[in-house]
Structure 1
Amino acid sequence: MRRFSGAAAGLLVVLTLVGCKSLPRVVPDQERRAPPVRLEGSQGPLSAERSRAILERLRAGGQGTDVLSRHLALEEAIVGSPLTAGNQAVLLEDGPATYRAMLAAIEGAKDHIHMETYILDDDEVGQRFADALIARQAQGVQVHLIHDSVGTLSTPKEFFQRLTDSGVKVLEFNPVNPALARKNWELNERNHRKLLIVDGRVAFLGGINISGVYSSGSLSGRSSSGKSSKKSDIDGTPWRDTHVQIKGPVVAEFQKLFIETWVAQKGEPLAALNYYPTPERAGRDVVRAIGSSPKDDYSLIYATLLSAIGSAETTVHLTNAYFAPDPQLLAALEGAARRGVDVKLILPGKTDSWLVFHAGRNYYAQLLRAGVKIYERQGVILHTKTGSIDGVWSTIGSTNLDWRSFLHNHEINAVVLGAEFAAQLQTLFDADLAGSKQVTLQEWERRGLGLRMKEAFARAWEYWL
């Protein structure tokens, strides 16, 4: 969901024209000999023997020892945060299921709630969350909320004032108004993360904002309350998205990312609460928390995705809402397809951002000629950002496959290693595939001049979209 007012969008273009940066050259080294994979558990770093046992279990459930070993080694070599064992990752499909799980966690909070979101609308859904946060704050649970300034441009100040008056600590990320800036004013730097952490024990992340457009699931025209969303979707079309609920030791890594953002944005000093409770084993998933920021030398999410695609041996299945790839991502996808990997992309058939939509379509012919299979999801507004590679490497989070996510936004993803979670994600991928229309090269090359002109125009702006 990318909603800019005309004035804000114009200002954004002017500022970015004078503040461009580019993606670094990232070359995954397929032959790199990484050190033994480091795992952490509920009591800290695991012994070599325990780590080997967990990795052997993962390999036994995967599609071959060598495939998983390669992905494990590349993850360890590229991203600095630890691979953490003993977690439970549960997929949540669409808004109603996600909101039920999130609100239940909020209502059960005992110590603190940390929430970070791009969009927080003043509608039925937004009010439900505001009421739930205020209720827990009244019971002595300290709530910290970060909302992006551009993402919440249409949300009245009174909405946030009610939260502040109740004791909730509200922080506007990188205010659009330069007079309110707490650090260097950089309008193009946005917080696109969607993260909820409750008591340091459970985390929610993915693509779902707090908005009434998600009230009706993609399989139903009714909201979770049985009422139609008061906020109009695009021609009444439901939104399709995916979130994940994670419990276990890796929640501490997501907590670090939230607190780092709070401190960097000069939020009020945090009260002395139990932000890092003693970790408890919750399941068998090995998970890595990955945050990216424009301040980093390069996007860690981008680098690990390129490496995973570059090391793929059997499948690359990606579902993404906003596809405007840079040359390296294009090369990685084409290279995988040409070496016989089954590369499938599920992309929107209908969107809320026609510029990104047509910028991505500009690359269809190039990808199709290389053997990449492209499908456009029908009947929904696709907002999902997930990927599964070789049946053992999975990711879910807020990151789109475009320049904005890789260069300008703060994003957050989880990478889950192992066949069990990948199978869950594959089930959702197959369901979306069944609701999609395949784009063939023959058909695409017959598209009209009008579409080609839109693609050419959109491509000229893809860096800033």
Structure 2
Amino acid sequence: MLGAIARARQRVWLETYIFEPDRAGRPFLEALAAAARRGVDVVLLYDVVGSPHLSAEHLAPLVDAGAQVVAFNPLWRWRRRLPMLHRDHRKILIADDTGFCGGMNIAEDYAGAKYGNGRFRDTHAALAGPGVADLADVLRGSVRTASGPHLPAMAAPPPREGGVFLQVLGSNVRRRKRHIQRALYHTVGRAMSTCFLTTPYFVPPPRLLRALIHAAGRGVDVRVLTAGLSDVPVAAAAARHLYGSLLRAGVRIFEMTGKTLHAKTAAIDGLYATVGSFNLDRWSFLRNLEVNMSAVGPGLAQGLERRMADDLAMSREVALAEHEARGFWDRLVGFVAYQLMRL
């Protein structure tokens, strides 16, 4: 992404939930300021809850260079136009005719050895072609929601030879946009052979749970990879409260223990794939701004299947007998955590 910013000559628009001014974040601040100084239209939209350490001092060189910086939904009541729990969880970069989206924030925890510590196992996708304009439109909508500047519509780049059918799906429940949710229900509900989901926080609504159980019941190979080593322990405990009905239906559940999982992906029938910021929890379904990139074709779907196979090497499968042998206190903690995650 830093390379794309350095090459940009027209626009660099960045939207992120977490922006840490650390060993990973500082190079981005410097690259954005350098782009603004060479006349590129630079916009940074960050969420104030996700980025509490990003101060005016860190942003001053960027503003002085001519970039537009927008804070999403400030906490102070007199500056806030939206409910406090309505957050911007999207991760988007538009650098001229190239786009990026996925689960990666701007922080050391998401970066490799050069810029970070590699704490999280995450997935991010780059795209080119007309879909970049659709991704830019989602970002423009986020800026409007944050009462930021009006950004001009981006002309759609031409299709790439050998490309795939691609959709950019957004979720903004306050504006009644639930495109990601509808796509999940539709694809899981119609899966024929395989349904592989990767999510760090597995606390889906009852409708999606039923869709997964029904898919397994009609013979679909349903696998869920979630976090065993979680950055949100209450979410991991809540997920375990739901395992029983899924395991009894034949759904296979794996917990990653070798790293902290943060990827949000799905691969269905080896043909449909989605990558983005959308978690399978109440926050993504009902509160946050989210974005996913979905593609129809074997390339991305089978790539995600291979990625899951690699991830399973540092994961453990949850057995039904083991799950049902949990003690009273483990069950109670799971029940309470589940109720908390539903708030």
TM-score (norm 2): 0.96
Tell me which amino acid in the other structure corresponds to 1:140: G
1:449 corresponds in structure 2 to: 328
1:336 equivalenced with 2:336 (yes/no): no
Which of 347, 355, 366 is equivalent to 2:234? 355
Once residues 451 and 442 of structure 1 are traced to their aligned partners in structure 2, the CA distance between those partners, rounded to angstroms, is 15
Tell me which amino acid in the other structure corresponds to 1:449: F
Once residues 107 and 442 of structure 1 are traced to their aligned partners in structure 2, the CA distance between those partners, rounded to angstroms, is 54
Shift of 1:165: 2.1
1:188 corresponds in structure 2 to: 85
1:175 corresponds in structure 2 to: 74
The answer (yes or no) to whether the contact 2:15–2:91 under 8 Å persists in 1 is yes
1:266 equivalenced with 2:165 (yes/no): no
1:138 equivalenced with 2:37 (yes/no): yes
1:440 equivalenced with 2:319 (yes/no): yes
2:101 corresponds in structure 1 to: 205
1:426 corresponds in structure 2 to: 305
Alignment of 1:123-162 (within 5 A): 123-162=22-61
Q: Once the two structures are aligned, what percentage of the paired residues are identical?
A: 37
**Contiguous gaps of at least 5 residues in structure 2:** none
Distance change (3 Å), C-alpha of 1:264 and 1:297: closer
What do the CA deviations read for 1:93-112 (whole angstroms, capped 9, x no partner)? xxxxxxxxx01100000111
The structure, 1 or 2, with the larger RCO (C-alpha pairs under 8 Å, 6+ apart) is 1
Once residues 187 and 282 of structure 1 are traced to their aligned partners in structure 2, the CA distance between those partners, rounded to angstroms, is 45
Once residues 93 and 150 of structure 2 are traced to their aligned partners in structure 1, the CA distance between those partners, rounded to angstroms, is 19
Once residues 263 and 155 of structure 1 are traced to their aligned partners in structure 2, the CA distance between those partners, rounded to angstroms, is 21
What do the CA deviations read for 1:148-200 (whole angstroms, capped 9, x no partner)? 1111123233212332222110000111112223xx3311111000000011x
The answer (yes or no) to whether the contact 1:248–1:282 under 8 Å persists in 2 is no
The answer (yes or no) to whether the contact 1:299–1:407 under 8 Å persists in 2 is no
2:267 corresponds in structure 1 to: 388
1:166 corresponds in structure 2 to: 65
- SS of the residue corresponding to residue 334 of structure 1 reads helix
Which of 240, 245, 256 is equivalent to 2:126? 245
Higher alpha-carbon Rg: 1
Shift of 1:278: 4.6
Shift of 1:311: 0.3
The answer (yes or no) to whether the contact 2:132–2:156 under 8 Å persists in 1 is no
- SS of the residue corresponding to residue 83 of structure 2 reads coil
Once residues 156 and 6 of structure 2 are traced to their aligned partners in structure 1, the CA distance between those partners, rounded to angstroms, is 19
State how many pairs are aligned. 343
What do the CA deviations read for 1:367-411 (whole angstroms, capped 9, x no partner)? 101110001112100000000011111100000001110100000
Tell me which amino acid in the other structure corresponds to 2:191: A
Shift of 1:277: 5.5
Once residues 374 and 291 of structure 1 are traced to their aligned partners in structure 2, the CA distance between those partners, rounded to angstroms, is 27
Which of 92, 108, 112 is equivalent to 2:11? 112
Shift of 1:336: 0.4
Once residues 156 and 248 of structure 2 are traced to their aligned partners in structure 1, the CA distance between those partners, rounded to angstroms, is 52
Q: CA RMSD in A?
A: 1.6
What do the CA deviations read for 1:59-92 (whole angstroms, capped 9, x no partner)? xxxxxxxxxxxxxxxxxxxxxxxxxxxxxxxxxx
The answer (yes or no) to whether the contact 1:368–1:374 under 8 Å persists in 2 is yes
Which of 256, 275, 280 is equivalent to 2:137? 256
Distance change (3 Å), C-alpha of 1:383 and 1:438: same
**Contiguous gaps of at least 5 residues in structure 1:** 1-101, 217-222, 230-236
With 150-159 and 306-315 compared, the bigger mean Cα shift is at: 150-159
Once residues 111 and 142 of structure 2 are traced to their aligned partners in structure 1, the CA distance between those partners, rounded to angstroms, is 29
1:461 equivalenced with 2:328 (yes/no): no
Shift of 1:280: 4.3
Shift of 1:357: 1.1
Distance change (3 Å), C-alpha of 1:141 and 1:245: same
Tell me which amino acid in the other structure corresponds to 1:210: I
TM-score (norm 1): 0.71
The answer (yes or no) to whether the contact 1:325–1:403 under 8 Å persists in 2 is yes
1:103 equivalenced with 2:2 (yes/no): yes
Structure 1 outlier segments of 4+, above 4 Å = none
The answer (yes or no) to whether the contact 2:129–2:157 under 8 Å persists in 1 is no
Shift of 1:451: 1.8
- SS of the residue corresponding to residue 313 of structure 1 reads coil
